[in-house]
Structure 1
């Protein structure tokens, strides 16, 4: 990858991505199961007109699958161009491909394999309902994240971690806890890793990175300055950089060689973003760790055994 900052994010938060910007998001079109995850992930960063299209296809995939591009534009009060742009942003070459995915998603929902989204948790919900709703949301977040995760990018990040001299992971708040989880896992298989939640320490450590090192930024919003800045420094120092984010169009991706996208359950008053984002992030972190452990099995397995034995001995003492 060319080591240069991607040309985006200069005052475009309220404008629609242009066609040239969206071409880069296209690869293999998402499977029907991933379509709903894409809509949930990308809708907050869309323009209002594109959101109307996305909400329509997510809310009634069967009905929208039966509409022409003109029909969907009329239904949502937008234009044909907006419909096409929305389809491309969701990962489809054109509206025809989106219609096929909608038909597939509708079939899954009718078969019961793609249930409707649960309602929000209310302040007066019985605790049994809270458990059921949280369990459903967690399961949906995991399924959406798995469906939307780019395994090529994941494999490349694993390769970089296996070869890294050292790995720095940046995260604040709930994402900082996920950063600690990843570094602890890597340390237990004998790899050098550090988690940084203090922005000043993160930057001063990023300055020491170089080619052959890895820096990982974890930020659901994709716009956390305390996480973006050390990643920028690491990027400019030549380290391989990875962003784990719920916003694949967020500013953090300017400085990421590899982007791993997470999904979240819908936010509510009693389920803030810090809760809903953590589940998807932990899945990605576990995928990274298992991938690394697989490729370093001859050394990772003994290291894990040694750490288990050391902890068991401590508890026996």
Structure 2
């Protein structure tokens, strides 16, 4: 039996779905991650509000909705819309989260947002800043990753007759990493970075197969199309994306979201989004390896032995 789908996916497939469970506001510590993830899709006025609350949670927690609107040069309606987009029922809930986040930062429990890399930064500073950004992206992705969806994805992959993975450019490299890991434990998996091959393979999938799409923006047509084809043929579909409301999720039974640090001139989104995607891929692989351990362990041992044999000089092997 297929996993429980979200209401939007059930509607697309024509099946009635259960009432959507109430959504709890995000943890205060995840606020900065939420801002970084959603900022590119916000209007400029909403970005100003989001950046203000993430950059100075202590100061903004003391502001009324009117005061924050004045402070950011926006309107009260924009402040309320921003709060709701960030996952809070209203501005009052956002203020409570800001106060909690300020308290965490005061005790060192929540890291501050790091500065962008400048063109004249010494290489030592570049190493430090990149390391901090990578750590932040990993922490943000872990904090917002839905473990219920993750468990369902692990179950689907563990029992799949075949898994196809779709991704382009940097996301394609992450997809190849996942496919290779699954192959190492004896599962049938293929990564497709060519959009034509992706679609022609997707139309061969059926119930019992898994199609997994990786796209940070969630809008990459060459990734959405093969996932849609697999979706329509009854395969279980999974999306790894930075946007839970992006177009790719309309054809995903399961959605795993990743975080991304702020994009800058010398640090494009593809760099930081790849970090979060690799964390999700590793979580999927470990989960599948745990579920299929009796088969996975011997397969891993066999692959290790084969590689060790290949790396041993011929003379030593013949001795």
TM-score (norm 2): 0.89
Q: Is residue 165 from structure 1 mapped to residue 161 from structure 2 by the alignment?
A: yes
Deviation at 1:249, TM superposition (A): 2.2
Q: Is residue 287 from structure 1 mapped to residue 251 from structure 2 by the alignment?
A: no
For residue 66 of structure 1, the aligned residue among 55, 62, 70 is 62
Superposition pairs of residues 19-168 of structure 1, within 5 angstroms? 27-168=23-164
For residue 275 of structure 1, the aligned residue among 250, 271, 277 is 271
User: How far apart are the structure 2 equivalents of 1:126 and 1:77?
Assistant: 36
User: How far apart are the structure 1 equivalents of 2:203 and 2:10?
Assistant: 17
Number of aligned pairs?
301
Structure number with bigger Rg = 2
Instruction: Tell me, yes or no, if the aligned pair for 2:166 and 2:212 is still in contact at 8 Å.
Output: yes
User: How far apart are the structure 2 equivalents of 1:265 and 1:259?
Assistant: 20
Post-superposition CA distance 1:23-74 (Å, at most 9, x none): 9796232111111101110111112232222112111111121223333233
Secondary structure of the corresponding residue to residue 217 of structure 1: strand
Q: Is residue 203 from structure 1 mapped to residue 208 from structure 2 by the alignment?
A: no
User: How far apart are the structure 2 equivalents of 1:25 and 1:133?
Assistant: 39
2:317 matched residue in structure 1: none
Instruction: Tell me, yes or no, if the aligned pair for 1:25 and 1:91 is still in contact at 8 Å.
Output: no
Deviation at 1:81, TM superposition (A): 3.3
More moved, 206-215 vs 42-51: 42-51
Gaps of 5+ in 1: 7-22
User: How far apart are the structure 1 equivalents of 2:121 and 2:107?
Assistant: 29
RMSD: 1.9
Deviation at 1:164, TM superposition (A): 1.1
Gaps of 5+ in 2: 14-18, 315-319
Q: 1:73–1:25: structure 2 CA closer, same or farther, 3 Å change rule?
A: farther
User: How far apart are the structure 2 equivalents of 1:24 and 1:79?
Assistant: 31
